Amino acid sequence: MQKSDLLEKLQQIVGKEMVTTSAAELYCYSCDASQVRGMPDIVVRPVSTEQVSRIVRLAYDNGIPVTPRGAGTGLAGGSVPIEGGIVVDMSSMNRLLEMDLDNLQVVVEPGIVQEKLNEALEPYGFFFPPDPGSSAMCTLGGLIANNGSGMRSVKYGTTRNYVLGLEVVLADGTVINTGSKTTKSVAGYSLTDLFVGSEGTLGVITGAVLKVRALPKERSVLLASFENPELAGKAVVKVLSSGMIPSACEILDRNIIEAINTYDPNIGLPRAGAILLFEVDGTENTVREGIEMIKEACSSLASSIRAASDKKERDEIWAARRLVGAAVSRLDPLRTRVYVGEDIGVPIKELPGMLHKVSEISKEFSMPIMTYGHIGDGNLHTGMCIDVLDEKEWDKLNMAADKIHRTAIEVGGTVTAEHGVGSARAEYMGLELGKGLDVMILIKKALDPKGILNPGKMGV
Ligand SMILES: Cc1cc2nc3c(=O)[nH]c(=O)nc-3n(C[C@H](O)[C@H](O)[C@H](O)COP(=O)(O)OP(=O)(O)OC[C@H]3O[C@@H](n4cnc5c(N)ncnc54)[C@H](O)[C@@H]3O)c2cc1C
């Protein structure tokens, strides 16, 4: 089909103002927050499920690639149209359709920004727990498609745990509903789970029924300092195996501490080889008891432990933690943070060993690695900064990232705990999933026989 014909047909579906082929706008859709690049031919912004269905059907009939996009904050190139075609920008479908709080659930369109949902829920005393560092920007559709998570997942779980049902447009334009509004249902295969984390390769999510929870009454934050990251890793194993599950458990290594203190000197994090930030939430009693349990579990390993003095300090610490990804670039103005090899997850007891191996890999490739992340989930963000104009630095970075990925898999871990596979990590799927990847490919072929949905992603 000629591009001009495609443009005309899409304009008939969504109206002229909701389609663009302007070079400047297309450029904005050629990347996400990763290093992956790919130019779309056309961008369309539907406002209803019916429009999405007609767009996808048109693409199906003509064999045109379709890449769904939320806010483009992904860190693996998931929403980048590496084979061109149509980008379906879902951000205009952003209505909160129903707040059914007696049933502890909401019905949403996918384009709502995560934080906006929580702003709407807060006055009623509820919240949607998945809490990525990008919550002020990313959409619920992107979170569901990536099964994203964040600081609270150590206690509250990942996005998958909050999706009761989905409305999905399949590759041929058919609209289906998965799941139900009940908290339990075993009727049929769990199609909801199939689409959660499918990164736009199996269907376009046009609606979701999400679980919400009551806001905890109290919170308290503890900062524990350690001589090195391995000791911090050992402390995490001790805390979690003591039966205490904090509502957040984050690690910041020496470089990250310096980056945050440089970014905002008022924060003044203690200088140490590593810091663990613990948050405990719940009733006054459970918080007090939880804090004592963490202190006791860390006491033989930490060089110092202190509680955040008040809500202001607590809020400042979490605001700083959210900025880490950007703050690391402040350490060396000549280098840029590159999101490669940055999202491994390992089983909890492997954390001290993995942290040690990361420092060995850093030495082996003479590549400074700054480690932070949701360590309570076994999730480590190994941040690297390079001179992006220097090919040799790219080579070193790729070799170090490859070793990080392979080491994580060797110890029973994963190359991506939350950021997704996209095209950035697709090459590791065979190694990590084995014959499971063959099953994924069969599912992809069954649901998307022409391979139009987000082609080139996830190894399928
Ligand atoms: C500063 C920063 C911090 C971050 N911190 C975290 C973190 O703590 N935890 C975490 O998990 N992630 C984090 N991320 C990564 C990113 O924000 C998440 O992956 C987020 O879920 C992506 O949402 P999005 O709306 O930007 O989706 P996009 O980047 O637009 O898309 C992501 C994927 O979802 C697909 N998709 C989007 N919408 C739909 C839809 N409606 N139907 C089907 N498929 C769809 C796309 O095709 C793509 O494959 C961070 C990113 C940044 C920049």
Q: What is the tens place of the pLDDT at every residue in 379-422? A: 999 999 999 999 999 999 999 999 999 999 999 999 999 999 99
Residue 203 CA, chain-centre distance (Å), reads 19
- Indicate whether residue 343 lines ligand 1 (CB < 6 A): no
Q: Which of 152, 182, 214 is the last residue of a domain?
A: 214
Reference 177, options 188, 359, 304; nearest CA is 188
- Indicate whether residue 140 lines ligand 1 (CB < 6 A): no
Same domain, 207 and 232: no
Decide if pLDDT at 325 tops 80: no
Domain extent at residue 23? 3-91
Same domain, 9 and 118: no
- Indicate whether residue 141 lines ligand 1 (CB < 6 A): yes
Same domain, 202 and 222: no
Cα 232 to averaged position of ligand 1 atoms, centre (Å) = 29
Q: Which of 214, 239, 271 is the last residue of a domain?
A: 214
Same domain, 19 and 121: no
Phi then psi dihedrals of residue 328, to 5 deg: -60, -30
Q: Any idea what the CATH number is for the domain that residue 81 is in?
A: 3.30.43.10
Cα 146 to averaged position of ligand 1 atoms, centre (Å) = 6
Same domain, 98 and 87: no
Q: Which of 273, 298, 321 is the last residue of a domain?
A: 321
Instruction: Give the position, in ligand 1's atom list, of the atom nearest the Cα of 78.
Output: 49
Reference 64, options 460, 455, 457, 452; nearest CA is 452
Give residue-wise pLDDT tens across range 58-108: 999 999 999 999 999 999 999 999 999 999 999 999 999 999 999 999 999
Cα 142 to averaged position of ligand 1 atoms, centre (Å) = 4
C-alpha–C-alpha distance, residues 307 and 304, integer Å: 10
Q: Any idea what the CATH number is for the domain that residue 256 is in?
A: 3.30.70.2190
Mean of the pLDDT values across residues 366-377? 95
Residue 434 lies in a domain: no
Question: pLDDT exceeding 90 applies to what percent of the chain?
Answer: 90
- Indicate whether residue 168 lines ligand 1 (CB < 6 A): no
**Mean residue pLDDT across the chain:** 96
Decide if pLDDT at 178 tops 80: yes
Same domain, 295 and 369: no
Cα 397 to averaged position of ligand 1 atoms, centre (Å) = 23
Structural domains counted in the chain: 4
C-alpha–C-alpha distance, residues 345 and 411, integer Å: 10
Looking at residue 241, its pLDDT comes to 96
Residue 456 lies in a domain: no
CA nearest ligand 1 atom 16, residue:
74
Residue 445 lies in a domain: no
Choice from 134, 205, 328 to test ligand 1 binding pocket (greatest atom count within 8 A of CB) = 134
CB 324, CB 302: distance < 8 Å: no
Cα 307 to averaged position of ligand 1 atoms, centre (Å) = 33
Residue 234 lies in a domain: yes
- Indicate whether residue 423 lines ligand 1 (CB < 6 A): no
Residue 447 lies in a domain: no
Over the Cα atoms of the chain, what is R_g?
22
- Indicate whether residue 75 lines ligand 1 (CB < 6 A): yes
Cα 346 to averaged position of ligand 1 atoms, centre (Å) = 21
Same domain, 209 and 99: yes
What confidence tier does 265 reach under pLDDT thresholds 50, 70, 90? Answer: confident
